[in-house]
Structure 1
Amino acid sequence: MSLEVFVAETFGTFMLLLLGTGVVANVALAGTKGNNGGFLMVNFGWGLAVFAGVYVAALSGAHLNFAVTVGLWANGDVGEFAPGVDKNLVNALAYFAAQMLGSILGAVGCWLAYKQHFDEEPDPANKLGVFSTGPAIRNYGWNLVTEVIGTFVLVFVILAFASTPSGLGPLAVALLVVGIGASLGGPTGYAINPNRDLGPRIAHAFLPIRGKGSSDWSYAWVPVVGPIIGGLLGGLVAMMVTFPAPA
């Protein structure tokens, strides 16, 4: 992977997490203009964050998500991670490193933007909720199933987009993320991306956030393992389906 591709993936993931955690902060934290804006506002905010991130990371193929990288790697119908970027372990790890760096920096940027509101927010759970996902009902097995299903839908449909003449480009992926959040996001907050949760959770752990409480590391494996399994299944199952050829 070239430095240019690495930088593109880093900045695309940075934009995704800056805007994505930003909309959660706007809804969850005390005294913001968007306080109590509701879950649908969060869904649309994440969709638009994906829309922005995909354009920024066009050079890298805009994975922005290690589950997408895994899905593309598993799918034999896809020849490269991006134009000129071979599918191999070294490049997969480079994508993961760029995504992790971008996600941590995006979460730090969100904290800086909302610093005063983090200070004013009395509930540590609301502060953690900006940086990481958490289940409505904690049951690790079923929470894992939810993340697997949501990420399967994400990767499977993204691969369908690549093979069909939709002409919508990044907008299609943005709307897909909104749809997944609105329909499957209720049980776990729909990480559907290891980098959405792990990088910001690391940022939560080291940032000097007033009254932040625990980073809930006991749950942290679910939004990492679930999306990786879901991405792998999405990539494999997509090879079994014949999509119409692009126009």
Structure 2
Amino acid sequence: MSPYLAEVLGTAFIIVLGDGVVASVILNKSKGNQGGWMVITMGWAMAVFIGVYATAKYSGAHLNPAVTFSAALQGKFPWEKVPGYVAAQLAGAMLGALLVWLCYKKHFDETPDANTKLGVFCTIPAIRNPKYNFLTEFLATMVFILAICFITGPTVGIGSLDALPVAFVVLSIGLSLGGPTGYAINPARDLGPRIMHYLLPISGKRDSDWGYAWIPILGPLAGAAAAAFIYKYCLQ
């Protein structure tokens, strides 16, 4: 498998299972309805575990532009491959969101609240404050990337044996820092499904909240850059 296809498939795994657990918990008449935040965070952690484990040997399982950006800044990943990896991650996120919509199409039809429908695809802050929302995504991603740096050491990507500890990091961040914004910590995870929300014929949907969309993109990238600097110049 080519590394670019692996990034598509791995990111699709993350989104179909991660957004899928959100859909199960918040959409009307789902058997998982009212499952709560613990179910959502566990679902995302296991989604990351599966995506990483399945694709690590082919691409290093970045599956996140913030991971790719951080690796390139540290000199662990060639810059010429960054655009291809990011494009593959975005395509995988869009594919995963499409599959979630197909599986839950009838539940979207049964759910009248437009914000709930949007929340399946992308993050919505609990309290909308751009400055603090950005800060939360920045800090959560910085912690995430620093943890990955310590787990993977000098390698250019994540290995299969690293899948479980990375999943635990995602679970911990979701439980601790995920409450304010829904912890995107991955620009593709938020932007790809948000694009699909815009494109898909979802009944009774609202706008795709493009005014907020920059925060789960730039916040994680800034956090990844800070983590790369701290790890490379302060911790090595």
- TM-score, length-scaled by structure 1: 0.90
Alignment correspondent of 1:73: 72
RMSD: 1.3
Structure 2: which amino acid aligns with 1:152?
Answer: M
Alignment correspondent of 1:61: 60
Q: Deviations over 1:143-184 (max 9, x none)?
A: 0000000000111100000129xx952000001000000000
Q: Tell whether the 8 Å contact from 2:53 to 2:161 is kept in structure 1 after alignment.
A: no
Alignment correspondent of 2:230: 237
1:144 aligns with 2:134: yes
Alpha-carbon distance in structure 2 between the residues aligned to 1:217 and 1:45: 26
Structure 2 unmatched ranges of 5 or more? 155-159
More helix by share: 2
Sequence identity percentage: 50
Alpha-carbon distance in structure 2 between the residues aligned to 1:27 and 1:105: 21
Alpha-carbon distance in structure 1 between the residues aligned to 2:228 and 2:37: 29
Structure 2: which amino acid aligns with 1:29?
Answer: L
Q: What pairs up with 1:91-170 in 2 under 5 angstroms?
A: 91-163=81-153, 169-170=162-163
Q: Deviations over 1:204-234 (max 9, x none)?
A: 0000111111111110000000000011111
Structure 1 unmatched ranges of 5 or more? 82-86, 243-247
Alignment correspondent of 2:194: 201
Alpha-carbon distance in structure 2 between the residues aligned to 1:45 and 1:197: 16
Alignment correspondent of 1:14: 12
CA displacement at 1:236 relative to structure 2: 1.4
Alpha-carbon distance in structure 1 between the residues aligned to 2:162 and 2:3: 19
Structure 1: which amino acid aligns with 2:27?
Answer: L
Q: Per the alignment, in what secondary structure is the counterpart of residue 169 of structure 1?
A: helix
Q: Tell whether the 8 Å contact from 2:114 to 2:204 is kept in structure 1 after alignment.
A: yes
Alpha-carbon distance in structure 2 between the residues aligned to 1:218 and 1:228: 18
